[in-house]
Structure 1
Amino acid sequence: MESVKSKSYEVHINELAQAALNQHISKSDYSRIFLLVDENTKAHCLPIFKKMMDAPIDSLLEIKSGEENKHIHTCLQLWQDLSNLDGDRKSLLINLGGGVLTDMGGFVASTFKRGIDFINIPTTLLSMVDASIGGKTGVDLGSLKNQIGVINQPQMVLVFPEFLATLDPRQTKSGYAEMLKHGLIQDREYWNDLNQKGDFTDASCIQKSIAIKNKVVLEDPTEQGLRKILNFGHTLGHAIESYCLDNPNKKTLLHGEAIAAGMILEGYLSHELRGLSKLSLDEIKKGFLRHFDPVDFAPDDIESILQLLKYDKKNSHGNVNFVLLQEIGNAVTDIKIPEELFHKAFAYYRE
């Protein structure tokens, strides 16, 4: 399957990924090779990965899985481990895991010794089609998503769809939400295909989503304009995710589950403010609720979620900026929302 080329690196899939990894390491004079895993990828993915790699791994680094561990204290542990294990500026860090691990591993590599090389090997659908692509790295600040980080590109991203067999269906579905988003913001036909598709984990769908995200990132690598469209559903979705993570009385949501709700809500705002048709709005809602359980929002929950919007990374000059849809496949950025529309959006979601 053809690789996806970015400006400074490539995303390789299946057999090409294995060949690219071994070729890159054989021609690079790395002083030490570190592999970062969590308890899940150590048990389920590491044995597979070791058979793919010709060169020896010098040291294995391990962190605990889960968004609740994506914080600076975990980074401190990893920086200390790299230092204790004689890591230097010619070291390589390979990140074998989901979005939490590749985000954090990329950040640790980008800041250790002012930057060492890293390679992302995503093991969840979410990280394959989104988190490991585009160079965004970082950690959360408390329960606030991705507040600390840098944009820095990996040497390569290697996608092995066979790792998806190690996941439970809920984790896989979380990545499906991001794939649907790619269709909503850039490609109506892709949205139609995915929305009707029974199997969204085949390599061709993964490659299509990677290609859509890569195209956007190539045009706007530092998120000054177009790249903001990748945040559709994420302004409210991240606030929902943070609120549920920080509230012991609420079920913790996976990223895709939260942004699925966010895309329905922001779809409603698109209908009110940018002319998205009611037919398309209902199509979006029906599509997501076919695959994702509705989230129960009480009035107090909604107020708390709206308070979290002030921490969104796209904000500027005190304004909360939204990405909305003019139609399916066509997104616009930097839209201000009248406050009364938020409550109408939640009311539409709950209908």
Structure 2
Amino acid sequence: MNSINTSNYPIHFKTSSYTELNTHLKTANYSKIFVLVDQNTHEFCLPYFLSNLETDLEVEIIEIEAGEIHKNIETCSGVWNVLSELEADRKSLLINLGGGVITDLGGFVASTFKRGMAYIQVPTTLLSMVDASIGGKTGVDLGHLKNQIGVINTGEMVLIDINYLNTLPENQMRSGLAEMLKHGLIYSEDYWNKFTALEKLSLDDLDVLIHESIDIKNQIVEKDPLEHHVRKTLNYGHTLGHAIESYYLSQPDKTAFLHGEAIAIGMILASFISTKLTGFSTETCQHIKDTIVDVFGQPKISGKDIQPIIDLLKFDKKNEHGKINFVLLEAIGKPKINCQVENNLIFDAFNFYNS
């Protein structure tokens, strides 16, 4: 499978990605290599990764606790301290082996330690392969507020090896599918239509779709690296999706949503709102809902939780000049950015989702 060359770094696929990595390590003159993992990737992914790594350099493993709840400055501080204690310098390399928490946090740690050290992303979840590791967005949460602290800074390369997906539970696989569905909705109806019969897809089909999804995201990012205009379309479903995710993370008596699960709900909500504000087809909106519910189920959002979720919208990163900006659809593959939405319409959207 062909590599994708972005303006700043290459994305390599399958086992040939390790050939590219090892060639890079021989020529880059790094002082030391650090591999960031969590408990899960330490056990299930690290042995396989190290078996493919060829280097005479010293390799140190840094482990953090797994889960979105640990994607914060406190965890960063712990990793920064370990790097310092192990005498990392600006010529050291940090390899982030894990899902979106690891790639987001690890990229941020590398971008800020001693004002910047090199890093490489090795995503091990579907979500991190098609979204978190692509495009140079790094960062952590502020309390339960998603991705409030971070920088856009690309690494040296991204390695996509779907063998890691064999270690994933089913809900984590579904979580990644949400971002792939989003790429179809904002960019390509043909790509969206490939997901209408998910039960017929083989692992080889998924391999091809992952490559196509990454290519779609990269094309959007290349046009707008710093998210001033078209890159905002990648936030489709994320305005309310992130608010839902943040709200449930903050409620110890509620079961938290995975990122993709929350974004899936957010996409249904945004599709409904689109029917009211941009002329989006109500029939297509219902088709989107049916497709997403078939994959993710339909966990209900209690009426008493809707207003607290709406209250969190003021923290969304796309907001400008005090305005909450949504990404909506005029048609599949035709998104519209910087849309304002009244609260009563958001309540209507939740009623549509719950129905």
Instruction: State yes or no: 1:34 paired with 2:34.
Output: yes
Matches of 1:279 and 1:188, distance apart in 2: 15
Unpaired stretches in structure 1, ≥5 consecutive residues:
none
Q: Which residue of structure 2 lines up, in the alignment, with residue 158 of structure 1? A: 159
Deviations 1:92-126 (A, max 9, x none): 00000000000000000000010000000000000
8 A Cα contact 2:94 2:119, kept in partner: yes
Q: Which residue of structure 2 lines up, in the alignment, with residue 10 of structure 1? A: 10
Cα distance, 1:57 vs structure 2? 4.6
Q: Which residue of structure 2 lines up, in the alignment, with residue 283 of structure 1? A: 287
Q: Match for 2:257 among 253, 256, 265? A: 253
Cα distance, 1:218 vs structure 2? 0.2
Letter in 2 for 1:74: T
Cα distance, 1:138 vs structure 2? 0.3
Matches of 2:263 and 2:100, distance apart in 1: 15
TM norm structure 1 = 0.99
Matches of 2:342 and 2:50, distance apart in 1: 53
Letter in 2 for 1:41: T
8 A Cα contact 1:95 1:101, kept in partner: yes
8 A Cα contact 1:180 1:195, kept in partner: no
Cα distance, 1:295 vs structure 2? 2.4
User: RMSD over aligned Cα, in angstroms?
Assistant: 0.9
Cα distance, 1:195 vs structure 2? 2.4
Instruction: State yes or no: 1:218 paired with 2:222.
Output: yes
Q: Match for 2:322 among 315, 318, 324? A: 318
Task: Please give the residue correspondences for 1:65-144 in structure 2 after superposition, counting only pairs within 5 Å.
Answer: 65-144=66-145
8 A Cα contact 1:39 1:64, kept in partner: yes
Residue 280 of structure 2: SS of its match in structure 1? coil
Q: Which residue of structure 2 lines up, in the alignment, with residue 25 of structure 1? A: 25
Q: Which residue of structure 2 lines up, in the alignment, with residue 43 of structure 1? A: 43
8 A Cα contact 1:267 1:325, kept in partner: yes
Q: Which residue of structure 2 lines up, in the alignment, with residue 345 of structure 1? A: 349
TM norm structure 2 = 0.97
Matches of 2:148 and 2:219, distance apart in 1: 25
8 A Cα contact 2:310 2:343, kept in partner: no
Cα distance, 1:250 vs structure 2? 1.7
Residue 137 of structure 2: SS of its match in structure 1? coil
Q: Percent identity?
A: 51
Matches of 2:12 and 2:164, distance apart in 1: 15
8 A Cα contact 1:35 1:57, kept in partner: no
8 A Cα contact 1:176 1:200, kept in partner: no
Cα distance, 1:339 vs structure 2? 2.1
8 A Cα contact 1:33 1:58, kept in partner: yes
Cα distance, 1:251 vs structure 2? 1.2
Give the 4+ runs in structure 1 shifted more than 2 A.
Answer: 197-202
8 A Cα contact 1:267 1:324, kept in partner: yes
Letter in 1 for 2:273: L
8 A Cα contact 2:130 2:179, kept in partner: yes
Letter in 1 for 2:112: T
Matches of 1:195 and 1:245, distance apart in 2: 31
Matches of 1:13 and 1:192, distance apart in 2: 24
Unpaired stretches in structure 2, ≥5 consecutive residues:
none
Q: Which residue of structure 2 lines up, in the alignment, with residue 59 of structure 1? A: 60
